[in-house]
Structure 1
């Protein structure tokens, strides 16, 4: 097994262990990790808070245990419907509100489970130090967000802030005290009551979000002041400085009004096909390279030890439906077979005079694989190629037709079609 395969296998084992604990603690049987994100069935769950996303490359196993503990507490100690109703709409306020709710449920970790409390503390410290050492606290907005996270968690949980950065927070803590001091006291006092806690959390989120926007506009200078009125860069400037996962987790781009879409009754419509081109993929690669790639792919698939015959059976069972495929004669029950009535005269004791309809599973369908072939998929190309090749082989054995299609743009950022749209 290669080193990369060992790392993937290790990450899978961590995901399985963490998911097992979250299922056991929350009592929800259909929870699992996919792509390092917790899913309920096929539905991905929200990101909740930035410190709940450790990296397999840089974080230790205790961080993943702390993440599992935090997710389990969030699912069991937070009313999702109530949280949805109380959550602010503004993106930065929403990010802060989510983080404060996570601090609340973590503060409710049972005292009878000291290991859970240690794991939660360890994970928060690891995230805090990673945030600090990445240089994000060198900016006014980053330092403000970091200080709010440290102060609020310390107040809600009754634990100290991270010792390594404690001195750095003093000035920001002093400036925040008169602004959010009353709401901070309410966080600790109302942490067992989600609705009452949310009142104080919303107040803090609103105040801090306004400070973050003001700090962002001051730093961005004349360029942002000259921007168009609907420019959202000042709103999302803080989040843009942070890790990409946090952008996806806590911000939502406002969708503009589309007269074209509304005119079509909200139905999907292709904007233009003027620049569409279709090519057979094999015609775009030299034959020698195709042979080399085919051999490499075959070796890697063989090394995985996948039981394609078993996969084919499962696909056949999933995709096939019973259809009439003729008759089985010489049966002792069923419909009378007129062709065998003469046997009744010749042999009165003959009972096999019937026939039954034969039903066989038939997969009357086509499975299509549509693959993003843009540059952003380069890192995943080999894994996707292996997956699709195995599936195509299994479908062929199952008697199911399949096709493999790819798509990409001819130029960066949408090319000529996007220019026409603009």
Structure 2
């Protein structure tokens, strides 16, 4: 190998290393071990010695990107928790998860998307199968990957790969196509996505056939390397898991919140019909278990939607522009608030830096050395990892009709300001909303009427829970969604207890050490349809029980902001504001207080 070629490959290797660290946001990762189960072989991403043509470079670049995306977007605990019980499904489950985090990476960085698609296209073109007569000639894993590339990445298959897929396509289509909308909407929610895929795969007729044995052998071969390294730890923990399983199950029933790490797929399926979305199943189970007196007539018509699916882009941009116009009059206040809150929070970080590194942020204080002597190397620095950064804040906003006008504007301003400010301080923020799909009960009430109107039916309206901004989504990517709160037709009834249970379950699954749930509301829960056929305090009692559980028995810190109303009768830690001008001092004092005390609030 010539020195020139050697130098080029070394530069390429260093570029891969830097790219992987930036994408994964982990500067200490061992890239060689980043993705043991990407293929059946353990990959050394930076083995550049055998690169001989353009295709090799494309492949290595794509595999490195994919491994880094797995580190960033794929939670191993969630992956293992939802792993199918049927061993034959595991390879397909693996491929489905890989496609999920690669799609997210492609949305985040166009260059990454280009690398991945170029590699897949190259793989499709280079496929040269011999005679293809029936299913036995095509492994189900290869066919499934082609199906996923076609349906989720919209890749065009060539004649050979199309024929390979054709033997299995009807099986995949009949089982998966009806769930495509749900799966695409939940790409950012690994738990929902992987649980749904696990259910789909285990119910596929494919895995009840004689092919199971062969598929199981292939799957065991694929995962042999990974299992070998983990068996010791798992064997040691299995005994403890079995010993504590009964107690943990009982605790989950008493608590009423999602402890799905201790539930099997079969238990989830038994709790509701397969037609119900996973989150709706959990929603119903949670509410009933926390409060045995709280009933729900049906969850069939409930909806959990991303804000961008509720309106077209033009309308979202128009509403965002309207919000920006209202922000203008508060611009000075917002700037002062953002700077003051940022100073308060950053001061509590006790920030520390490492200097004289070979990569990271450029250390501008050392640039004079380069000017004086160009042969001096550049010096870089990076911030040390601190516990403070390991924090997430969920903003749960009441989207009821009573919030229409100034209250919802103030709530939207709160969400916008806090998202931007906390993001600057390396605190992740999720923005959620809750309302109902209809006035007067909607389809739930119609179903109740057709069922001879049983007495005390419980909650009797169709819920609509909205994700305005995911925790891992940057503010600039979600800012139009926040403007959608101003859409009047969206604001209907408010059933707070179930909404808080839903938000709690989302934040509880996050890996951050600090978890703060902030509820922004204008008072008591109200739904005329429900209250007309139940006791007058039916929703209010449920809200109080949900809040008390979180305050007393969980590691999630909960805080409420009442807009124009005192909500302290529901929350131990509650504040009231009547105008956005009050937001500054209130937010600074309350948030700074939360971050100052790392112990659970009482």
TM-score computed with the length of structure 1 as normaliser: 0.43
Larger gyration radius, structure 1 or structure 2? 1
TM-score computed with the length of structure 2 as normaliser: 0.32
